[in-house]
A and B are shown apart, each in its own frame.
Chain A
Amino acid sequence: QQKVQQSPESLIVPEGAMTSLNCTFSDSASQYFAWYRQHSGKAPKALMSIFSNGEKEEGRFTIHLNKASLHFSLHIRDSQPSDSALYLCAVSMGYQNFYFGKGTSLTVIP
């Protein structure tokens, strides 16, 4: 069974900082990798996804995937207080069964 682990569990950064979140997975056959953001009391919402090795940038957010090392990451440039949330990584092999990590709680201090 796929194991998905996130680090760190929690993170506090000052406004304007670069934030880096990590996710490791166990099955090298995985095909879909995504980050979701969940504000307190709300539903998770997709941020970005990637299917092949490399980087993908959308605005302040960059996702980086290295399948060989079973690792992908999310980088947030110029972190804002509104970015404070629980960040969940998700991995899937066949677009049917998705595995989520336990999440990283991010707090951005003004």
Chain B
Amino acid sequence: EAAVTQSPRNKVAVTGGKVTLSCNQTNNHNNMYWYRQDTGHGLRLIHYSYGAGSTEKGDIPDGYKASRPSQENFSLILELATPSQTSVYFCASGDRLGDAEQFFGPGTRLTVL
């Protein structure tokens, strides 16, 4: 089965600090995604990527940057973390081939104090 891992799994950050969330996939999928999940909002897309070197803005990109240095790795960067960015973040990978299923990582719980 497809494998997506995230690190760290839990993170406490201070307001104004820099936070980097990492994602690695071994599926050789072209597309990767970063979502946040909040009660009452469901899953919301922050950034996505078509392949190494590419990043695209999703629905809520403000305050976030993304980096895709390789096929396997996709990072989400919060340059100046704010309490409103406290959330659970999920990374996913997928491909338009087949049934376009997305495979999700286990999530990172981020708390910004």
Contacts and interface: CB of A to CB of B under 8 A. Distances in A.
Interface of A: 1, 32, 34, 36, 42-46, 49, 88, 90, 92, 95-103
A88 B42 contact: yes
Nearest to B95: A95
B99 interface: yes
B99 A95 contact: no
Given A43-B90, A95-B94, A103-B42, 10 more contacts: A44-B104, A45-B104, A46-B103, A49-B99, A88-B42, A95-B96, A96-B31, A96-B56, A102-B41, A102-B42
A98 B42 contact: no
Given A95-B31, A95-B96, A43 B105 contact: yes
Nearest to A42: B106
Interface of B: 31, 33, 35, 40-45, 48, 50, 56, 58-59, 90, 94, 96, 99-107
B48 A46 contact: no
B34 to A, nearest CB: 12
Nearest to B49: A96
Contacts of A90: 102
Contacts, number: 55
Contacts of B102: 36, 44, 46, 90, 98
A102 B35 CA distance: 13
A96 B31 CA distance: 7
B45 A97 contact: yes
Contact of B104 (A34, A43, A97): A43
Contacts of B104: 43-45
12 contacts: A34-B101, A43-B105, A43-B106, A44-B43, A46-B103, A49-B100, A88-B42, A96-B56, A97-B45, A97-B59, A101-B42, A102-B42
